[in-house]
Amino acid sequence: IDGLGVALTYQNGTFVRAATRGDGTTGEDVSLNVRTIKDVPMHLSEPALVHMGADRERTIEVRGEVYMSREAFWKLNEERTEAGGTEFANPRNAAAGSLRQLDPAVTEKRDLGFFAYYLVGPAEPPTQAECLRTLEKYGFTTPEHWCVAKDADAILAFIAAHEQRRRTLAYDTDGAVAKLNAVWEQKLLGATGKDPRWAIAYKYPPEQARTKLEDIVIQVGRTGVLTPAAVLTPVKLSGSTVSRATLHNEDFIREKDIRIGDTV
């Protein structure tokens, strides 16, 4: 999931803190903003409390990814253009910027999502697969597509299948991660710095497409700012149809020598 890594802390089933991944040891406190994300429960469901036992001081940590859907990203950029502001380059940057807002009300309006994928604490599940199932029972949204692979061929088959499937998802993904399933094996291998030895990420090449620039039009923002935009022959890209693109300003057009009729 192309987003921002976040760790959530719960005490006796109640949310107390959220921090960004940072350097792997020290992150940024984003608790107030994370409280506004609908996928993050403030109180865990009954199974979580049972697993945590009677000790009220017990703490669990849920790790996952804060992201912005493509639809929310397009809407946000549209609003920023109309207001005469600059657009975010991609949903990941938009999610990161939204999570670090000083005003949680601004974060709430930006419709962020959260996928949980790891659990640390008492009654820790013995495998990664069981961890995902447990997180669902606790009330979290977990990644939709995963499998337990028996060998390297099964891993490669999943990577190939997901490269096609990811284009139809509502959010951006930039790769697939292969993890050791057994948690005791993960702990045995440990990590170098902030990189685990028990997980390997396969990164997909960025998706590209060619189309024709049919026209250049001027958009008038709410504050009167004029922004040139490219009208494109519609083309499929990352599961959506792209028919317009910002050209930022006149200098940008000159530097790139952008002209009607160009193939872009």
pLDDT of residue 54: 55
Whole-angstrom distance, CA of residue 133 vs CA of residue 253: 51
Sequence-ordered list of residues with C-beta below 8 angstroms from that of 58, at least 6 positions apart, any chain: 11, 12, 52, 121, 122
In this structure, the strands spanning 112-120 and 195-196 are: unpaired
Give me the sign of the Cα torsion angle 125, 47, 113, 194: negative
The label of the residue with tokens 């930039």 reads 174
pLDDT of residue 56: 52
Q: How many residues does the chain have?
A: 264
Sequence-ordered list of residues with C-beta below 8 angstroms from that of 104, at least 6 positions apart, any chain: 32, 33, 35, 36
Side chain identity at 86, as an amino acid letter?
T
Whole-angstrom distance, CA of residue 48 vs CA of residue 53: 9
In this structure, the strands spanning 59-68 and 240-246 are: unpaired
Q: Which DSSP string corresponds to 106-153?
A: HHHHT-EEEEEEEEESTT--SBHHHHHHHHHHHT----S-----SSHH
pLDDT of residue 48: 65
Q: What is the pLDDT along the chain (264 residues), one digit of tens a residue?
A: 989 999 999 988 899 999 998 777 788 999 999 999 999 999 987 766 666 655 555 889 999 999 999 999 989 988 888 887 777 878 888 999 999 988 999 999 999 999 999 998 877 899 999 999 999 999 999 998 999 999 999 999 999 999 889 888 999 898 999 999 999 999 999 988 778 899 999 999 877 889 999 999 998 887 888 889 999 999 877 656 788 888 988 999 999 999 999 999
The DSSP 8-state label assigned to residue 43 in this structure reads: B
Sequence-ordered list of residues with C-beta below 8 angstroms from that of 109, at least 6 positions apart, any chain: none
Whole-angstrom distance, CA of residue 103 vs CA of residue 41: 20
The label of the residue with tokens 């693109």 reads 245
User: Do 215 and 45 contact (CB within 8 A), yes or no?
Assistant: no
The label of the residue with tokens 């998802």 reads 169
Whole-angstrom distance, CA of residue 21 vs CA of residue 64: 10
pLDDT of residue 53: 59
Q: What's the number of CA atoms in the CB half-sphere (13 Å) around residue 196?
A: 13
